[in-house]
Structure 1
Amino acid sequence: MAVPGKKMPKTFSSSSTMGSDEDIKVYCQPCDCDGPRLPAHGYCVDCREHLCDTCLAAHKRHTLSRHHTLLDKNSMPQTMSSASVHPSQPDNLTKPCPKHMKEMIKFYCQNHEALLCSVCVILEHTVTSCEVNYIPYISDQILNSTEHQVILKAMDTITEQCRKKSEDVKKITALSNSSLTDVLADIKTFRTEINQRLDELERQAEDAAKTIQQENNKNLKAVETTCEGVTKSLKTLSDTIKHLNTTQKADKLFMELKLAEQIIKGYKKRVHHLAAYDVKEYSFKPNKAISTLLEKERSLGTFTKKSLKQPSPSPAVDVKSRQTSHQGEICVQTSKDKGRCCIPRMTLLTPDLLIIIDWRNYAVKMVDTCSQSVTAQLQLDTEPCDVTSVTSIELAVTLPQKQNIQFISISSNKLKKKQTLKVDGKCYGISCCQGKLFVSFVEPAKLQILGTYGTILTTVRLGSIFSRPVYVTSKTDSIYVSDWEMKTVTKFNWQCEVTGSYGGVTWPLGITLSDDGTVFICDNQRNVIEEIAGDCTTGKVVLKDLNDPYGICWCAETSKLYVSCYTKQDKHDNFLQVFKLS
């Protein structure tokens, strides 16, 4: 019989045997390494080893193997295969543990996304509290996987951000220095109109301007140095990852990818801090009173300044005019579907990878936007209503009928169920930002902010604001909620205080944020997509004459808008419409 913990494979095959004498009787492989040869009374599917009674009992008790799949004497393979004697994935892990330098990293904790040695597992990540895997057993699928592609893409994105930031700072620094050159010219012009008694004040003003120039150049150098350092580091790391992937060194590639995730987080913060640097534009304002009150004045004039800082993605007040073009459609119906599709929500992991939920077919689907095809599908046992990315390899899906949030992992282009989170109501919309989940509930009508482990941080129940809050989207300082009965899009800050509301829609459903801080909303009754200013003061129709638009997703890299429809007609509901906005 199979021990609970994993599913037992249907068959076992041996690609080669060890010889007629060895095939007749199977023996305990651990004992054969350093003890007498004993007959086997069981078999571990995970370790691919035959075990005697003593080793079988120890295997069931040990922390790292108690959940392995074990077969009894009647069910185990009756021959010794070369694959059993010589595992296909050798343990050649040589990276030392940062906490226990004499121990090698050989395990990975799924719960904490941490690389571990055996001491870490025993002391901090026991199987009773964590899902711990031996790296050689799980690393085969990392080669050419989605996670591998996502991490490389994240590196490329940060590198590109550094390049753009460096260019931006060069431009505004040049403009600032140009303005200071004009200041110096104005100082000279003004100085010629007064007598030699102003020589000292002139030198003071010139020194002040030159000091600012030096500070500008110093700060520019600091930005360039940071961007060059990040770019060089990521290039080296990217080359290492590509080489490991090409040479199919899965174990080392797995560890490098996990370490890369932590490095990426740090570099994201560093690149984000670069945006906080503010360069000023200066002009010179002469002191007109100096000609008559020269003896009483202590300065030649004052500097006025105007910020040249590049605007961060903050709420836009005005909605700009956009040019739109239809780019085609993507069929999202598959052979696994039992009927017509209904796509209420979707989220982008990369410009090439779109995750959608199919409410009518109880499914989560992975869509390749380049090949325009569904590449993976995960069946659920109830209707999903919304999806958001928690990390680059993890999703969260709302299941209102079960009052659950289902977490789903993405690995090797496959979708797999993970843990579920029980909530106190019919959860509908969901969005994740900076480790927090923003969840809207239709029964009872409310908005909650949760930690990713389910801790309720804030709850908003405002009857005058919410009636049927369906979908939610978020960014670093704002939360937007669409309510189809109140016919509003409401903006909150992270303290859940209302900071804006837009009432120019008739039946708001799907909602998504653009890269410049505006909000796209599906107005199902008017058959339009409306773009709303980030402060919810104004709105403008950007797409019209649609067929009952339902779900929506924006891709900033390609300036494309993905729109689903729900008309109860196959010719519309089974396709995503793709629009280019500029």
Structure 2
Amino acid sequence: MEVPGKKLLLKTSAVDTTYCQPCFKDGDNLPADAYCTVCKEFLCSNCASVHKKLKISRSHALLDKFSMPTSMSGDDDEYIEWCEIHPKEFIKYFCPTHQTLNCGHCVVQNHRSCHVDVISDLSQAFKDGPEYCDIDKAIAKLFKDIDKCVSDVEKNKTLIAEMSECEVSKLRRCRDEVNKYFEERENALLGIIDQMKNIDEALLDNLRPKCDNLKTEVEEIKKHLKTQENNTIQLFIKAKRAKQLLEITQTALAEINKKNTIHQYRFNIDSATERLMESNTGLGIVEKEVIDTQNALGMQIESDVDLTELKLIRAASIPVKSPIDTRDCFISSMLLLPMNMLLLADWHNDTLKLVDLQTSSMVSHVSVPGKPWGMCLLPGDRVAVTMETIIQFLETKGQLTLSDSIKVDDDCRGIAHHDGSLIVSYFSGKLQILNMKGGVIRKTEKYMNGQQVLVSPFHLIVARASQTAFVYVSDIEMNTITKLDMNLNFLQTFRDPALKGPMGISVFANQLIICCVKRNNIICINLSSGKMSQLHVEDDVIPDPEYCVYSPLQKKLYVTFNKHGHANHAENSVKVYNAIE
């Protein structure tokens, strides 16, 4: 004969009546008036009173008869998670259709038509299953993402410190060249720089603790899961809840990444300062803009793109022959300008041409007093262009407009700008650093140890490697790329069989892009590793490439060609290659 209340002590899945468990052991079947959440026992009113008085149990939380569970089976010793909807019931079931954790009441009320699983049955194999494995991987990925965010924050702090130091240094050098009249303006500009720096530092200092908090939360989730790995039921429940917490944490991390932006600002010398002491913009201005640090710590869009991993697919060309041209075009160099514009130097037609990359059309052109070869961007929407024995300055805001020019002592070719100075190469093989009025600050010797170092340095560029600026020069006769420091000291020479006839040299992020006219290819040099690789072109050959630039906005490579001296091979367009990952 079955003894009333016996089900309470049996390890079954049946629903039991709620009797006082201590009294039942003495043979009494008294209804329960309380439930101890620590001892997991139902108690009558007398036992509950004693429970509260005993030193060992007086701190235990008791649920009254209105809050306690309505039933308890033997398996309930393993169920300790309360239902959020029905606080008196334990979670025992999982609905795979709705992906919900349920008590018995939830199942009856909301899941009658569903196939509902008993958690104790599912949990046995859960720890070794793919879902728990995915959660574990998600935690590991989130740790990695958080660490990357922390690293980006630290890099930005370094960047703003270096940027502040660099811009203040330029400001100081400019200040030394003018009289005391500019003292008030100097202090104002220093205040702007300091304000920007403080704003950015305050933002980054605020983001770092948030990253640390997220990391702590994820560590807590992992810790809780680890502590429950021997209790498969509890592990299942904790893991299901952990998925929701991980999603919330991922959303919070995305918000941190979204806010992890700093201002870009630079000090630009105002041209009116040299001519007019009464200018209301005397000494210069500090320009500011926000950098998306997720895309580029180096102030480039998509700066983490490895050009050697892209497939370059030929697309439509951009025609560049204008109605006033008297000869077929020979585009000696190109320069990416703000607002998605591309400036072209047409050597044959003594013309500079402006192309809108968004519409792939030529929108402006201007005749120049010489044959344009190399170009470089200057502060304040200006460009410097080498034209035989002069360097012509050009205003690019709006229409192309010729400005002033300076004379040089030889046939100049490549040109770059750095820190208020011009670096120029010459047909004769020498390099010079000039001030903005044409005065020679420094120059290279033509011969070193009895040998000519540079023979035909037709193109050069200034690029940064590990935050330090260097000059890189292509030499078509020596088949080399030469690296120099900013004092024109020779540091390194790149040689390779694929590097034959290097001409145009441009830079994208930490990668040099070099057109090899004698090898019909384009070479990329990673400035961090020094690794030299060939770009992957659809036909594996780019005939006679003269100059190329990569636009991260358009995700295209623009290439000009050297058909100079080739009969019936006129090239009056810029070829376009789509960059496919």
- What TM-score does the superposition give when structure 1 sets the normalisation length? 0.48
